Structure 1
Amino acid sequence: MHLAAIHKAFEDFLRQRGLKLTTQRRRCLDRAFSTHEHFSAERLYLWLKAESGPSVSRATVYRTLSLLVEGGFLESLDAGGGELVYEHVLGHRHHDHVVCLACGKIEEFSDERIEELQRQNCARLGFELVSHVLKLSGYCRGCARKRRGARDGGAAAASRAPLQAQHEHR
């Protein structure tokens, strides 16, 4: 979907709610759709602040993001710690996420076998599947390595402590 069509669709969505597509909302929309990564409300606010153009308040950013999610233009994802991140979904295939609990790194994946299992389970339970969100949480390779090192280092230090204590008492 082209940006002009997205503007029109968002403008129609806002009009149905008695709202207008202001310059500030348009700037939020344009910036959100110009990135192909997950972003927080704060990051969007800082991007807009760094660019030239009419100023956009944090409150406007948060309200516009809520409207974009409500209208199905963006999806939000809890990246951990209560921080929501956003991504545009128009023109993108459905996918799921795995989020690192330490650094917040987000990877996307898609697996038709998982999708089919979800459809089968909904049918078995008598549900008509409309949408779903799958978020896996864990530690990325780098953070898992650091955690293992910290655990191994901590265990090694703990095993040396009795030896040091023996040397001190002699």
Structure 2
Amino acid sequence: MKTIDPSLRDKTKRLTQALRDGGVRVTRQREVLLRILAEAEDHPDATELHRRARAVDDSVSLATVYRTLSVLEREGVVQRHSFESGAARFEVADPAHHDHIVDLDSGEIIEFRNDRIEELQRQIAAEMGYEIIHHRMELYCKKRA
């Protein structure tokens, strides 16, 4: 019998509840999509999410993917990223803040957190009379030769 990771189960529950809170029925197709989102360790776009969901249930439509993502984003449990490299990408909102490196050669998106950068940003904002409410940092990089 396969054991389900508790954090994966929690993510899926949070996504399911967000759909209900958004007034959307949780269908079998949406359950598949929610599981795919919860399992994703990358930042897939809608087309990739659709491809993965159809591999599990071929009745999942691209329209269902877009509508579901829209509700999840509105409810604040999914974040949309519009990286310069193309289509919007999605990830389950994580309470722990992180930033991104976009590898311009491979298209890979790497998450990172650096306390020194976070503190420097707070200091700069404070010196200018501000308090950071929200921010995103994206570094577009190429590997050194």
Q: Which residue in 2 is equivalent to 1:73?
A: 77
Matched, 1:94 2:103: no
Q: Which residue in 2 is equivalent to 1:24?
A: 29
* Counterpart Cα distance in 2 of 1:32 and 1:11: 11
Mapping 1:97-116, distance limit 5 Å: 97-116=100-119
Q: Which residue in 1 is equivalent to 2:54?
A: 49
The higher-RCO structure (CA 8 Å, 6+ apart) is 2
Matched, 1:82 2:110: no
Question: Is the helix fraction higher in 1 or 2?
Answer: 1
* Counterpart Cα distance in 2 of 1:57 and 1:80: 26
Q: What amino acid sits opposite 1:79 in the alignment?
A: F
Query: Per-residue displacement from partner, 1:51-96 (whole Å, max 9, x unpaired)?
Result: 2x361111111222232233332323223343122222346x3221
Q: Which residue in 2 is equivalent to 1:153?
A: none
Distance change (3 Å), C-alpha of 1:54 and 1:138: closer
* Counterpart Cα distance in 2 of 1:127 and 1:14: 35
**TM-score, normalization: structure 2?**
0.78
Distance change (3 Å), C-alpha of 1:136 and 1:71: same
Q: What amino acid sits opposite 1:62 in the alignment?
A: Y
Contact persistence 1:99–1:137 (CA under 8 A):
yes
**TM-score, normalization: structure 1?**
0.68
Q: Which residue in 1 is equivalent to 2:38?
A: 33
* Counterpart Cα distance in 2 of 1:2 and 1:71: 20
* Counterpart Cα distance in 2 of 1:85 and 1:25: 18
Q: What amino acid sits opposite 1:42 in the alignment?
A: T
Distance change (3 Å), C-alpha of 1:33 and 1:123: same
Contact persistence 2:36–2:49 (CA under 8 A):
yes
Q: What amino acid sits opposite 2:129 in the alignment?
A: G
Q: RMSD in angstroms over aligned alpha carbons?
A: 2.4
Shift of residue 7, structure 1, vs aligned partner? 4.2
Distance change (3 Å), C-alpha of 1:19 and 1:30: same
Distance change (3 Å), C-alpha of 1:73 and 1:16: closer
Q: Which residue in 1 is equivalent to 2:136?
A: 133
* Counterpart Cα distance in 2 of 1:105 and 1:5: 26
Shift of residue 18, structure 1, vs aligned partner? 2.5
Q: How many residue pairs end up in the alignment?
A: 140
* Counterpart Cα distance in 2 of 1:106 and 1:25: 25
Paired-residue identity, % = 37
* Counterpart Cα distance in 1 of 2:131 and 2:89: 28
Distance change (3 Å), C-alpha of 1:16 and 1:107: closer
